[in-house]
């Protein structure tokens, strides 16, 4: 239930480490420590291994890996050559094939901004097309996809942003400024929880971002 507050005790079934910047914040690093299964997108594998760990799986097109690395890690390496999906989606399919449905995404942001946008929006696809309980943890907060009515655990002063994908109605309680069916991304940003829960009544799909800390 990624609608709960996420803390350092968050223990997803699997963590997928993406090709963006390796996380530095306490909560995504704790999620890596707590997870049963670690799957690296191939561009992230070297970063993770350099920290003294070995992932359970490395998934991607293999383009960024040299032959020595491929040979050394061949038992956990899953090279998937198709062009329709990015490495994050390939890693997701792999985790799903292993039976994992609660998946946290870390290291998915922080390099090319178009990749960041793509990766963020994909968690909505994983939720709706694949039935995954997906959360993306950045160094600042976390994105969760929602559809229709939904309730999110919050704390007073928590910064909250909402990105509307397909709603013509998004009503809320528990926010400093009532939400609406935002027509632009910026309109749903810079909101704030007033208490320990935010409820939405909505008729479509949207994405909710909550920060780890209050306004800083």
Residues that bind its own copies (CB under 8 A): 86, 109-122, 124-125, 138, 140-141, 143, 159, 161, 163, 165, 184-186, 189-190, 209, 211
Using alpha carbons only, how large is the chain's radius of gyration in Å?
17
> Nearer Cβ to its own copies, position 101 or 205?
205
Q: What are 13's two structure tokens?
A: 């079934």
Closest separation between CB of residue 176 and its own copies, Å?
Answer: 10
- Give CA–CA dist 136/143, Å, rounded: 5
Closest separation between CB of residue 2 and its own copies, Å?
Answer: 16
Contacts of 84 (CB under 8 A, 6+ apart): none
> Nearer Cβ to its own copies, position 37 or 127?
127
Closest separation between CB of residue 76 and its own copies, Å?
Answer: 26
Strands 14-17 and 102-106: parallel
> Nearer Cβ to its own copies, position 27 or 37?
27
> Nearer Cβ to its own copies, position 78 or 140?
140
Residue whose structure tokens are 């038992």: 75
Q: What is the 3-state secondary structure (H, E, C) of 193-214?
A: ECCCEEEEEECCEEEEEEEEEE
Q: How many other CB atoms are found less than 10 A from the CB of residue 108?
A: 28
Closest separation between CB of residue 110 and its own copies, Å?
Answer: 7
Closest separation between CB of residue 159 and its own copies, Å?
Answer: 8
Residue whose structure tokens are 């397909």: 166
Strands ordered across the beta sheet of 150-153: 150-153, 197-202, 170-173
DSSP structural state of residue 23: P
> Nearer Cβ to its own copies, position 60 or 141?
141
Closest separation between CB of residue 74 and its own copies, Å?
Answer: 26
> Nearer Cβ to its own copies, position 3 or 161?
161
């Amino acid at each position: 239930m990624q609608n709960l507050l996420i803390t350092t005790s968050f223990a997803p079934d699997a963590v997928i480490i993406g090709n963006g910047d390796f996380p530095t914040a306490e909560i995504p690093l704790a999620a890596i420590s707590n997870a049963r299964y670690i799957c690296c997108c191939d561009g992230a594998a070297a970063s993770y291994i350099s920290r003294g760990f070995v992932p359970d799986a490395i998934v991607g097109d293999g383009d960024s890996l040299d032959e020595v690395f491929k040979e050394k890690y061949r038992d956990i390496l899953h090279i998937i050559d198709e062009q329709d999906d990015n490495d994050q989606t390939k890693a997701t399919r792999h985790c799903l094939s292993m039976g994992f449905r609660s998946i946290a995404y870390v290291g998915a942001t922080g390099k090319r901004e178009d990749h960041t946008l793509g990766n963020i929006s994909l968690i909505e696809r994983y939720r709706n097309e694949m039935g995954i309980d997906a959360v993306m943890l950045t160094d600042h907060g976390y994105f969760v996809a929602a559809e229709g009515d939904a309730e999110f655990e919050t704390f007073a002063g928590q910064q909250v942003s909402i990105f509307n994908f397909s709603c013509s109605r998004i009503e809320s309680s528990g926010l400093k400024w009532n939400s609406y069916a935002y027509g632009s991304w910026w309109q749903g940003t810079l909101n704030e929880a007033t208490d320990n829960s935010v409820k939405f009544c909505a008729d479509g799909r949207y994405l909710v971002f909550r920060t780890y800390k209050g306004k800083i």
